[in-house]
Amino acid sequence: MSPRKELSDYSVGPDGLQRCWWCGDDEQYIEYHDKEWGRPVADDQQLYEKMCLEGFQAGLSWITILRKRAAFRSAFGDFEMEHVAKFSSTKVEKLMLDPKIVRHRGKIESVVNNAQRAIELRDEFGSLARFFWRFEPGKSQPLDRRSEMKAYRPESTAISKELKRRGWSFVGPTTCYSLMQAMGMVNDHLRECHRWEVIDQLRAEFTRP
């Protein structure tokens, strides 16, 4: 028998659908929850973008990053790795003046550095996706309560350690686990969220790179 759910574990939108608690009633958050979070991703550009945005989120709320995502995409050339890898120090200084993004020098410089490191990974493994999906954990029990959701797992710690060894920055175990959740490497929708079964099926049909 599943543990008794608490009201705070879920939110119910104006459409009457039950969702994970964290998206609340914010329309943009609901759209992200319903259309993106947890869907399996094998596209390198999308994975690089997700990792960059998760890095920007460190110390901030995800909704802050989500609301600035269009501005981030504009500032970083839609996160096209070859383009970002060539950003100069002058370009970084220009980005530091852009009020539409998070003006954190370390994080901006990290996006440039990580683009260079991502290209190296892609060249070595054939794709970023192939590198990341190597760390997929075995199937685990669905989450029934928000209190069961972890901040990191052994696999995210392993990803973090390997990326740091290769020169990446802003890739701690928690950031890497957020990436795992976002890219569908795990299904962390709560069991009674209307998206859990959808994501479970998408993961079953997904061809690992």
Q: Which residues are catalytic?
A: 32, 54, 62
- Rounded CA Rg of the chain: 17
Whose tokens are 């539409």? That residue is: 100
Structure tokens at 148: 């069961």
Asked if 188 contacts 139 with a C-beta cutoff of 8 angstroms, the reply is no
Strand partners, 20: 10
Backbone angles phi and psi of 117, in degrees to 5 = -70, -35
Q: Kind and range of the H or E element at 51?
A: helix 44-57
How far is it, in rounded angstroms, from Cα 81 to Cα 128?
11
Pairing assessment for the beta strands 10-12 and 18-20 based on DSSP bridges: antiparallel
Asked if 191 contacts 149 with a C-beta cutoff of 8 angstroms, the reply is no
The number of helix segments (H) and strand segments (E) in the chain equals: 11, 2
Whose tokens are 């969220």? That residue is: 193
Helix (H, G, I), strand (E, B) or coil at 86: coil
